[in-house]
Structure 1
Amino acid sequence: MTLLDLTPRAVQNDRLTTLPVAIIGAGPIGLSAAAHLLERGIDFVIFEAGDVAAASVRAWGHTRLFSPWKHLVDPASRRLLEAQGWELPDPERAPTGTELVEKYVAPLAALEPIASRLRTGVEVLGVTREGMDRTRTKARFATPFSLRVRTPDETIEDVAARAVIDASGTYRSPNSLSSGGLDLLGMTDIADRVTAALPDVLGRDRALFADRHATVVGAGHSAANTLLGLVELARQEPGATVTWLIRNSQAVRVSSSADDELADRARLGSRVDQAVADGRITVLDGFEIIRAQRTGDTVELVGHRRGEVVTHLTDVVVNATGFRPNLDMLREIRLELDDIVEAPKRLAPLIDPNVHSCGTVEPHGFRELTHPEKGFFVVGMKSYGRAPTFLLATGYEQVRSVTAWLAGDTTSASHVELVLPATGVCSTDASDGGGCCS
């Protein structure tokens, strides 16, 4: 009697092999998947909801990443670019998001083999199997995937694919300001005074914050970057004031350790610590928001603090509470997710933010990213669910392994290696926001 081999294998089906692999998202990870598929000779199509590649990165482009260039470029993508004369920027320098796009992502997306397969302004509304909901099993894994998409002219169409790589990220799915995780009561009343994480305080969004009291909600690196921007704005315009509202009992949630090999991140933590000590940032800790309301031009955040119901008055709120994966589009896909962080179940123990930092995540690939729905993979930031410890280098190794498996190269797919910089803990409480700017 022999044991059954339960290792998932790439589907072999005549029709399936004629269909492309569908990639959702044209950020750095989605484009990396495209580069690896090109090297493997596998056709693909990329759906990007934004009008251009890396639309989410462009939204926070003013922010400097923690990682230097040497950790930000995917090997397969680099080979494609260098064949066209591209040169890697200073390996030891950390770029801004805008620089990452202009010097790397945009040139990669513009390469003809990728550009010809990239559909921008196309939102994926749902993923399923052709003619099957999630309850049907017979011939399931020999049946193509079907992606329902909305095109720029509002046309709804279904697109068939042999496999799906979801690299859509989480930037467009922020956590709620409500400590309970549900939509904040009263949010519609204050929506025009709430911004997403990482607003361009000193540039594009300056008018929203000038001469106003801003409250940053969240305790991670996104919050820290915004806090420092607001401190500088207050120096330039004395009417601006800054409050840091966190749900925990302590305000220290960003690394300022000398042991952090990502020096820019260590300096970020130290600068926030100093601004708090100098009184330029007012800390409101232990505040669990339960509802909001509007009184004239004032936003009132009502919450529990130290066993009492209290109200915090402010003019503008920055939601830096972290992000969550959009799972609505995957309702008809058979997923196996961790019940806490909503990451693939085999991956979740490796990225638990209570234990791991960005730099202590073990190498992982297709095995840890596999779901019961064979041929479907969530990669990149979205694969981390609500854990805030993602680095681009991790995502690049994920897609290298996944695309090797799709090509039937299980040896390469199973051999995963990843060298990450040693870091401090990115966030010791995933519920209060956070995230690594790669």
Structure 2
Amino acid sequence: MSVSGIFSSIADKAQNAINQTPLAGHIPSGGHSANQANHANPAASHSGGRSLALESLQHQIRSLGQQYSSATPMQRIITLEKGVALGFDGVARDNKAQSKELYTWGQREDPDLTDVTDRLAYLNFTQGALSASLSAQLDSARASLKPLREAEAAILPKRNIRAGLRNQITRIEHSPEKGAERERRLAELKEQLSRAESHDEQAEKELELLKRKVIRESEQNKWEAIREYGEKLVLLAEAAKPIIGALPTLPPTTTNPYAGAPVTAGARASLQHALDNYKPGQTNLDLQIGADLSRSGSDTRSFGESHASGMAAGQDSHPGLSVTPPIPEPPASASPNQSASPIPAQPVSGVVQDTNARASESPAEASSQDLYSTSPVKTESAGEEKQRLEREERERVQAASNERSSVPGSAEEEKSRLEREERERVLAGGANPVGQDGEELPPYREM
């Protein structure tokens, strides 16, 4: 089995193993097809049965395998374009996830933030829908190259045969050997090559036509999709300007309430109208406000209203949508873990009593005192620390001395005591001890 086949087998086994687990039904899918792209309404969600994460993993494994195999250039082109399509599909999922998080956050804020983030969530979700549509169109454009890949693979063995015949002919022609056998063999090879070239001539011509056809078709579809994607992104950027501009610098008050809702509603409705009636080359946004909106019957619903089903469905609102789960609230009877930092192993003087006094406090109270206390922490001066260390050293030496006095004398101590008594006895008798050389040692004097 080739290296590429080994990597492909690994990817397929990984897919099958996950499909057989209970997690298979909960893995978000990110696959798209061309007929699922809604060009009129880019906010429409896409559906697919494959997992984006698994497909990305398989793509990476196959790309790695191609680096160590004899994959054809066309095969590498098709594989790399698959990576581009998967990249935009990942952008689509992240955009939609971010839009929901932004909308959810804004619902807990003041009216100005609630309104503006609602409209911005719609913009981000629409950007995600456009990215998903582009991903599907890029994947479809890439598929146009596959017939060329198969045609090149089918004709490659015939090309190898003809190349082998040419090599044999060249080798015989440059051979120093002469004779009838050489000429007969050379003529035979040339005849085989002529028949092969005549047989494969039509297939080679068709392949040359196919190359130009699929490249033209694939690249045209790709760049038309990219142009549409880019021009619609310009429309989104144009709609973002009045929405962001409606957010006041200061929070609204009862005397100065938020008044930007008509502006943001007009931007949202104008953008939707422009997307629904998009034509190539259209990048200007005709902003509608107030009376224009009422006359045209434009859709000014908030993002939460127009995408209510998606908000309620969670991740099911878009395959592959990954939403950050909310932080669970602690039970009412549980105290939050807000205790202060651990006390050092050897606390300095003046802090120990304070620590003991705080031991009976709740963690929240102790943390609050640490954060908001303005009283300075008592610390030792250099002199006080020196005195404390000297006192601890004296206590340690005294304790060691008391411990030694309570233990019976060792053999070494007993030997020293006997030598001392013998020396005192000799000195008491008036005799001077003799040295090793026979000289008398001086009398012993007590120090």
Greater RCO (Cα-Cα under 8 Å, separation 6 or more)? 1
Larger fraction in strand: 1
More helix by share: 2
Q: Is the radius of gyration larger for structure 1 or structure 2?
A: 2
